Structure 1
Amino acid sequence: MPLDISWFLFLGLLLLSAAVLRTYLKPLPVTSSLTYFIVGMAVGPYGLKLITIDALEHVKWLEVVTEVAVVVSLFTAGLKVHIRSTAHLWSSPTRLATIGVAISVFLFALFTHYVFALSWGLAILLGAILSPTDPVLASDVQVEEVHDNDKVRFTLTGEACLNDGTAFPFVMLGLGLLGLHDLGEGGLNWIFVDVIWSSVVGLGVGYGLGYLVGKLVLYIRNSKVEEIQADEFLALGLIATSYGVALAFHSYGFLAVFAAGFALRSFDKKKEAAVKEEGKEVSYDPDAVLSFNEQLERILEIVVVVLFGSLFQLSYFNWASVGGALVLIFIIRPISAYFSIGIGTDFNRLQKTYIAWFGVRGVGSLYYFFYATSHGLDLTTAQLVLGITYVSILLSMILHGFSVTPLMSFYRKRV
């Protein structure tokens, strides 16, 4: 069969299957991501060989693909979590994304330095790559829609949105200790630029642009006779603009796109209520923006996870990669979570246990690996990091994927 015909059939069957997959898999202890992974393996080098990609030869475009997937997912999550934007509720995800990430990086660096004899720079870099939880693959444990008021889901969603940005300074620290990034005299450049400036400016740029775009669009749409129906362009435009402006200011684009989505939705609800009170018709529907982004997020999830499956290599599996992944999932994640939210929060023991367990690793870690590799990691080092990263993501996908349905079902009955 000609290759182009095979591709059309593959893509058609994949998208048709994805359309009905979630409905049939929902009651089963398996996630759609696991199915996409199996499809990726089936069309990769170990199967039909429709996709033959070397992760270390195609670093730049794989970095872009994973980057886009994370960016869209973060913006979508920002649109979802706005309605519970109180300082008290944001305390727990902020702790997990700051204290939790720092503890996770530190503990994993200690483990890999003393057990695997990695240099401190490489150990910190590896810990940073694996520290963020995932906004793409962890959708089954995150807020389901805007009015989802569950504290555990909100915390896991907020954590995944923030720690994709808060892990970045530790990635830069690891690269700096490896001689691939300028940390400045005494680390001052890292502290003031990589930690403070990039984080604060990223959040500020994103929130400011989200607010301004929301205000402008609502004004235009409620002052014109004809409605403007272009929610898709609004979403894509704001994502690209906030991300681009943040990068132009040498700040973290991940934090910017999340803040942009958060600001757009938060601003919208207040203004929408005011407009309705005046008896005007509101033509701007934020739910349409959210719906479009959710569809785009699902498509990107399919693309990334199928690619991830096609990258599968048996050589990734060794005592170091499997041991590191198990330590990360069963020891380091629970410790970092309990130290972050164990004191000063109103979670009960069951809720803390669920938060500690569902630290899903995924596309964010893949992106950080490709980012670090494109910044000068040598081939031997990159192969080592890729093996540990790949196995950690895969084991997380399997363990959390098979446990999410029964555990969340049990949780709903108890709460």
Structure 2
Amino acid sequence: MLLAGGLVALVVAALSDRIRRLPISEPLLGLLAGIVLGPAVAGLLDVRPLTEDHAWLHTATRILLAISVMAVALRYPLGAVRAQVRPVVLLLAIAMPLMAVITAGLSAWVLGVGVGAAVLQGAALCPTDPVLASSVVTGGPAEEDLPARDRQVLSLESGANDGLALPLVLAAVAIAGPLTAGEAALESLWQVAGAVVVGLATGWLGGRALRAGEAHGSTDPGPLALFTAVLALTVLGLSGLIHVDGVLAVFVCGLAFNGVSTGSERAADVPIDEAVNRFLVLPLFIGVGAALPWADWADLGWRGLLLAGAVLLLRRLPVLLALRRPLRLGWPDALYLGWFGPIGVSALFYLAMEAERLGAEPTVLAAGSLVVVASVVFHGATAAPGRATYRSVTRHGDQAETSATPGRADRRG
């Protein structure tokens, strides 16, 4: 596994920024490597299918998500974060529950499963993944082709909704299992409220500690670049001990740290952000590729493929188009953000959590993993062409608008 991850990382490093202009992504490269090296092809990685062994998946995705959402929280200045509060709140409060309902309905209709399995599927697949989204909104090509507002909205939505999807998952567990509605509501309140308190406190303390170190000249760039990753893991551990939403706590911690810090910390975190996006995802997706449940997919047959296609097309795009005016998006922006709401690490995290709480449900795990793979493939393959199409459409529209109104400045800046 280490050798495979290292070799793929060398390929990514050699391609450098050019990979952002190709119809492929780092998670897709890792997934393909895992398939080739796994039991389905070469047999060099002898692992059991996800439907049989998912314990490692919950831990691995939890750690990766924590580091990723910390990077999202520090990616932009706090002023830019405040400016996007309204659209992000709309996406979290309206779009995310609608995506869960749509996905659950599609699962019940296409797969013919019961209400319990359908709502488990809908809750697990509703959050927009920050790891896959980062490959869309970061890097030179993304900054050249996409407006800052679109990149910020997608980043912040993906960072926040990973933790805030937990109440939906707990509600699904209550419907599908022995957890009562009251127990699910109390646990959701404790986990979310506790995560906010833990995140605010640890972010403030971390920012103050780092500023004190800078004041005494004891913090140099090397440790500074790793500080936020270590802080994320610390918050994750504390959250696990007191049973609050660790991923949400880390995101809130990052925002609080962003507000307390001087700004140099955010600049120093760029290497960590890039490392998460390009390299830390590789071992996870190699493992996922090797552990894909091919036999369970075969049992799903055409229904699995139909579900994957229906979820990718109908889970998010119609919702974003319907919310275009409240979100203050033009048609190209609504179409772009509606398509690029990838399903990835966060979905695997919640699928594994549901399996730990209720016992593995092969249909839910198999169908959920198939949708994740479809998202990795199609969103990875369309990222570069999608940006190019967006750039072409918007620049053509700007030129037409400028020609119609002489002397008008380019609104994109």
Cα contact 2:4–2:33 (8 A) shared by 1? no
- Structure 1 residue 327, shift from structure 2 partner: 1.4
Question: Which ranges in structure 1 are unaligned for 5 or more consecutive residues?
Answer: 1-6, 273-283
Return the match for 2:378 from 399, 407, 415.
Answer: 399
- With over 3 angstroms needed to count, the CA separation of the structure-2 counterparts of 1:47 and 1:412, relative to structure 1, is same
- Structure 1 residue 9, shift from structure 2 partner: 5.6
Residue 292 of structure 2 corresponds to residue 294 of structure 1: no
- Structure 1 residue 365, shift from structure 2 partner: 0.7
- With over 3 angstroms needed to count, the CA separation of the structure-2 counterparts of 1:29 and 1:225, relative to structure 1, is closer
- With over 3 angstroms needed to count, the CA separation of the structure-2 counterparts of 1:163 and 1:82, relative to structure 1, is same
- TM-score for both structures, normalised by structure 2: 0.85
Question: How do 1:322-333 and structure 2 match up within 5 A?
Answer: 322-333=305-316
Cross-structure match for 1:334: 317
More helix by share: 2
Letter in 1 for 2:25: T
Question: Which ranges in structure 2 are unaligned for 5 or more consecutive residues?
Answer: 395-411
Cross-structure match for 2:195: 202
Cross-structure match for 2:122: 127
| CA distance in structure 2 between the partners assigned to 1:338 and 1:346 by the alignment | 11
- Structure 1 residue 169, shift from structure 2 partner: 1.2
- Structure 1 residue 125, shift from structure 2 partner: 0.7
| CA distance in structure 1 between the partners assigned to 2:234 and 2:258 by the alignment | 17
Residues 191-221 of structure 1: per-residue CA shift (max 9 Å, x gap): 3431x33223312321321122111221232
Return the match for 2:25 from 28, 31, 41.
Answer: 31
- Structure 1 residue 44, shift from structure 2 partner: 0.5
Residues 357-406 of structure 1: per-residue CA shift (max 9 Å, x gap): 1111111111111111122324xxx2211221121112112221221102
Residues 104-124 of structure 1: per-residue CA shift (max 9 Å, x gap): 111222233344332222211
Return the match for 1:355 from 316, 331, 337.
Answer: 337
> Considering only aligned residues, what root-mean-square deviation do their CA atoms show, in Å?
2.6
Q: Aligned to 1:251, what secondary structure does the other structure show? A: coil
Residues 245-282 of structure 1: per-residue CA shift (max 9 Å, x gap): 3334432111111111222223213xx6xxxxxxxxxx
Question: How do 1:12-411 and structure 2 match up within 5 A?
Answer: 12-54=6-48, 55-85=50-80, 87-144=82-139, 150-180=148-178, 182-183=179-180, 187-194=181-188, 196-224=189-217, 230-231=223-224, 234-269=227-262, 285-315=265-295, 316-317=297-298, 318-339=301-322, 341-378=323-360, 382-411=361-390
| CA distance in structure 1 between the partners assigned to 2:363 and 2:134 by the alignment | 29
Letter in 1 for 2:340: F
Letter in 2 for 1:217: L
- Structure 1 residue 11, shift from structure 2 partner: 4.9
Q: Aligned to 2:249, what secondary structure does the other structure show? A: helix
Aligned residues: 387
Letter in 2 for 1:150: A
| CA distance in structure 2 between the partners assigned to 1:103 and 1:170 by the alignment | 11
| CA distance in structure 1 between the partners assigned to 2:248 and 2:219 by the alignment | 35
- With over 3 angstroms needed to count, the CA separation of the structure-2 counterparts of 1:188 and 1:343, relative to structure 1, is farther
| CA distance in structure 2 between the partners assigned to 1:300 and 1:111 by the alignment | 32
- With over 3 angstroms needed to count, the CA separation of the structure-2 counterparts of 1:130 and 1:228, relative to structure 1, is closer
Cα contact 2:120–2:364 (8 A) shared by 1? no
Cα contact 1:142–1:153 (8 A) shared by 2? yes
Cα contact 1:30–1:401 (8 A) shared by 2? yes
Residues 23-44 of structure 1: per-residue CA shift (max 9 Å, x gap): 3423222223222221111111
| CA distance in structure 2 between the partners assigned to 1:22 and 1:324 by the alignment | 35
- Structure 1 residue 86, shift from structure 2 partner: 5.0
- With over 3 angstroms needed to count, the CA separation of the structure-2 counterparts of 1:384 and 1:163, relative to structure 1, is same
Q: Aligned to 1:230, what secondary structure does the other structure show? A: helix
- Identity percentage of aligned residues: 23
| CA distance in structure 1 between the partners assigned to 2:138 and 2:90 by the alignment | 18
Cα contact 1:112–1:118 (8 A) shared by 2? yes
- With over 3 angstroms needed to count, the CA separation of the structure-2 counterparts of 1:106 and 1:244, relative to structure 1, is same
- With over 3 angstroms needed to count, the CA separation of the structure-2 counterparts of 1:8 and 1:32, relative to structure 1, is closer
Q: Aligned to 1:58, what secondary structure does the other structure show? A: coil
Cα contact 1:63–1:370 (8 A) shared by 2? yes
- With over 3 angstroms needed to count, the CA separation of the structure-2 counterparts of 1:10 and 1:131, relative to structure 1, is closer
Q: Aligned to 2:260, what secondary structure does the other structure show? A: helix
- With over 3 angstroms needed to count, the CA separation of the structure-2 counterparts of 1:264 and 1:176, relative to structure 1, is same
Letter in 1 for 2:163: G
| CA distance in structure 2 between the partners assigned to 1:348 and 1:235 by the alignment | 35
Deviates more, 1:285-294 or 1:168-177: 285-294
- With over 3 angstroms needed to count, the CA separation of the structure-2 counterparts of 1:198 and 1:82, relative to structure 1, is farther
